[in-house]
Amino acid sequence: MSREQRGPNEKLGTVLALAGISNAGLARRVNDLGAQRGLTLRYDKTSVARWVSKGMVPQGAAPHLIAAAIGQKLGRPVPLHEIGLADADPAPEVGLAFPRDVGQAVKSATELYRLDLAGRRAGSGGIWQSLAGSFAVSAYATPASRWLITPADSSVAREAGSAEGSGAPIKVGHSDVQKLREAAEDARRWDSKYGGGDWRSSMVPECLRVEAAPLLLGSYSDEVGRALFGASAELTRLAGWMAFDTGQQEAAQRYYIQALRLARAAADVPLGGYVLASMSLQATYRGFGDEGVDLAQAALERNRGLATARTMSFFRLVEARAHARAGDAQAAGAALKAAEGWLERSRPGDNDPSWLGFYGYDRFAADAAECYRDLKAPRQVRRFTEQALSKPTEEFVRSHGLRLVVSAVAELESGNLDAACEQGVRAVEVAGRISSARTTEYVKDLLHRLEPYGDEPRVVELRERARPLLMAPA
């Protein structure tokens, strides 16, 4: 359905011309983006002509899908007002801003927390359904540059009258902050063991809305406020990581931007670097290797002389991942060597942050293997994968599944079909025990690589074992 504006939508026509998209091309893109979120749309070139020449405004998710489709072609976010659709249903621009002012930063983060819950209660994907395909790596440019220029706010003390809707003033104390930190620690464990789509992990956005938001809107001293912003940043980054793991790239991007802003308010430079590293991994995963390098190097630059050796090692490892995806073998090798060197310098007594508890030699080896997979060096992949798989997996189940797939790819590229299928079967078994779209995508990639051997009995068996996993709802 559509409703009519007054006169032609010249803004939409102008942007379509700028992007070089025809009416039929835009209709096809919008329909495809809708299908990715379970929407059956049947727009055609006549529909687009009505939007442009008669000013018709499509209802529901369509305006946001139009903006996302054009944004994909232009390589940047396209707000609804730029295409003359600002008076459509409320736009999901929330979460993309990186305000300079602390008060505005609180508003930006808490608006995002409310938006996510509203989407979940809608029962059909909610606002994230409207955001289909709207990930744009360029949206990270302003947050990264502002964080680099000013990684800490001067003061975050706040006086507030009351909690929203309660009438009772909130005075935030360290015990309130501790509860958020404990929630983050619990969520990290569940995420590693069961994947970002596990129902217990999905409680993180609820915690942000119900627990963190009222505290951020309360009253606190500068000291308590710094701790509060740090704990909220950890939880927000976790929400982004879980969204990333379940394939909700657009939601992950918004959480990451807000997490970086909260880390700046916390004056926690290593945590800000960790958020930038998460952004880098997402950009790299989406195929933007060069931008991934920039984000990883931003994390490194501000943390020189501040972060622990193990933290710096992880940042260099993330940089290596991005270089490898960009196809720069020399830079990837140098970054890996530096990451290993930092890791060797780390000591048990170092004051490593709690959020880095997952990182050790096994994780280094696992990511090194993925670097060499991207660089098509199977012998190196096998060497590092053997190290990565040598550690017990009770706590990091998802990581174990990913490592098994990488091992299978290395075996296949080395000409060992039986070994590849054996590792693939093990990976499918692990993937079936967790809820992780990322792990499923790794399995799909393996099966795609095995297509030339489709008639081989071991390949047929693997494909059959993977069928329930691939048919499971996203």
Tokens of 247: 């394939």
Residue 320: predicted pLDDT: 98
What CA–CA distance (Å, rounded) separates 203 from 187? 8
Distance CA 214, CA 232 (A): 11
Q: What is the pLDDT of residue 68?
A: 83
Contact in structure between 335 and 316 (CB atoms under 8 Å):
yes
User: In the predicted model, is pLDDT for residue 362 greater than 70?
Assistant: yes
Question: Judging by DSSP bridges, how do beta strands 2-4 and 56-58 pair with one another?
Answer: antiparallel
Q: What is the DSSP letter of 86?
A: T
pLDDT reported for residue 125 = 44
Is the confidence at residue 308, as pLDDT, over 90?
A: yes
Q: Write down the mean pLDDT value for the chain.
A: 87
Q: Pick the closest to residue 75 from 145, 136, 144, 12 (CA basis).
A: 136
pLDDT of residue 37: 57
Please count the other Cβ atoms lying within 10 Å of the Cβ belonging to residue 338: 18
Examine the pLDDT at 245 and tell me if it is beyond 80. Answer: yes
Higher pLDDT, 17 or 166: 17
pLDDT tens-digit readout, 41-66: 889 999 999 999 988 888 767 887 89
Give pLDDT, residue 119.
Answer: 44
CATH architecture, domain defined by 2-83 = Orthogonal Bundle (1.10)
Domain ranges of the chain: 2-83, 376-474
Residue type, position 256, single letter = Y
Per residue in 254-270, pLDDT tens? 999 999 999 999 999 99
Closest alpha carbon to 240 in 212, 272, 268, 205: 205
- Calculate mean pLDDT across residues 343-365: 94
Global pTM?
0.80
pLDDT reading at 202 higher than 70: no
Q: Please write down the long-range contacts of 418-424, taking CB distance under 8 Å and 24 or more positions apart.
A: 418/458, 420/446, 420/450, 421/450, 421/456, 421/458, 421/459, 421/461, 421/462, 422/458, 424/450, 424/462, 424/466
Percent of the chain scoring above 70 in pLDDT: 87
Residue 20 has pLDDT above 80, yes or no: yes
